[in-house]
Structure 1
């Protein structure tokens, strides 16, 4: 018995029209794009990102602007100081004017804005270099300890405990003279560069244990996954497993740790300058500018207030940026 033509047509599949809007709605996003979308939704983190980006750009531009003479953090303006009041700037608000937007330094007459702007470069350099040292050491040793386990893990763990037991600030103060002199003689550099290198080394060498513990905990989970077993069975070298298989899966905690360590070292540099360890004037850093303003906290409060406010803004912005990145990289944050 044959089917009628109309019946055969009814049995054919009905073509489905493509709906572009529905396709976009169900299209999958990569983890990085999902993280970026979550980060953009966080307005506070975006504000922090803009502040941090501005801080970095200003730090990069400062040496160029000093070289071409656009800003001069070393020029004295004695005519703007009142000798009868012990070198306090003339006028209101610490000598604020169209030529000196944040006033001038008491006793020297140097432009406060120019010195703070130039000081940002040195503070950023020290904090960034120290963070890189601590991050590299912490990541490498954390990967080795977490993957190898056994005696190697135990040995690295004891070194971490020993490093954390040292009083960092006391060591910085006690050994600064000896080590700065040794760095000067070994590298044939001036005292300020030697002090900067000393700060970077001490902060980095005392800061890596926290990073190593974080990375070790992540590696303990990663090493149990199938792709690690496959790499081992295929005869991959340990170096390849460390840096080709494990490391790419650690960028999220490394990035978060980096953004949270940077502000800690910015504030530490300021504290060390207050304790007379670090780069000395006339080369400006945010730390030694703040240290020099302590004596004028009552007579010229704004000279003390401006560098303190800038340090606070930088530290808070970096912390908020780190928190925002951590939340954006968490796949459960939308739930």
Structure 2
């Protein structure tokens, strides 16, 4: 009997050790399962699972890469957006390109411009650069100014809130497009008087300033509403009780909690300004040829919409793809940062 018990002793000890090891593994796995994630990690996980948004994120990244590299490629001679190729157009047909589909060939994959023979693909790629520069600069001004005034209005309240809210109402009362057209002559001359070169430089600065200065009220209202909610939270009260000044509360407590709506609004406002730049160039207020933008290329192509449809189609396609990509990326980011949003 004692021999049997002694023989079972090592087996029982091994079984106990095995059970303890299994319990330790389960405890470790449980700790891994219940490990907390930050809101940014949760949003990133939802974003990675959204295949449509990731697709348009790739398109936006490609457009930004093209916009950055286009001026460099132009200087290196890889892109040739300014050279006239008179041998590629037929004077007997009013300057239409020779060959089918607007002169599409291996040397000119998207054809050439009627009347000039300039390479359409090179001009569109460089046009993306100037359109993105104008739209991005105007968006930065609008978001920056709106965020600053929204923070002050929502956090301080009282007369600063009243003053900024009335300023928002007054600014929204002016029609943006009409003001852009009405003020163009006077303000462009004033911009030139400050040392900005006349022509496309002053026109570009004018569009950036007016779009930015008329676009801030929307983001200011959004940020004001967010700050009105955040300023009553416990962490704001704790910061105040510890003697934190307003500047520290702005930079360390409020702004980190506003990155999500700011990022979403930025990606939604940018395509709006891309379309606005195209519309203003179409109306003759924006950057003018020979400097290419998507807007002035589309304006020129309308004259040949029936005779050379491909020349009209490609600029319209570029604008549509950019605007749709940024818009759907903004929608995807909004859903990723808002767990209650409908997927």
Q: Normalised by the size of structure 2, how large is the TM-score?
A: 0.91
The residue aligned with 2:44 is 36
Residues 266-303 of structure 1 deviation map (CA, whole Å, 9 limit, x = unaligned)? 00000001110111100000000001111000000111
Residues 51-109 of structure 1 deviation map (CA, whole Å, 9 limit, x = unaligned)? 00000000000000001111110000000001011100011100000000000000110
CA distance in 1, matches of 2:295, 2:70: 17
CA distance in 1, matches of 2:151, 2:30: 44
Q: Verify: 1:294 aligned to 2:302, yes or no.
A: yes
1:150 CA displacement: 1.5
1:188 CA displacement: 3.8
Larger Rg: 2
Residues 93-150 of structure 1 deviation map (CA, whole Å, 9 limit, x = unaligned)? 0000000000000011000000000010000000000000000000000011111112
CA distance in 2, matches of 1:104, 1:92: 11
Matches within 5 A, 1:1-335: 15=20, 16-19=23-26, 21-333=29-341
CA distance in 1, matches of 2:52, 2:196: 46
CA distance in 2, matches of 1:169, 1:17: 67
1:334 CA displacement: 8.5
Over the aligned positions, Cα root-mean-square deviation in angstroms equals: 1.8
1:208 CA displacement: 0.2
The gaps in structure 2 that reach 5 residues or longer are 1-8
1:331 CA displacement: 2.8
SS of residue matched to 1:101: coil
CA distance in 2, matches of 1:284, 1:54: 19
CA distance in 2, matches of 1:73, 1:164: 39
1:238 CA displacement: 1.4
The gaps in structure 1 that reach 5 residues or longer are 1-5
1:231 CA displacement: 1.7
The residue aligned with 1:3 is none
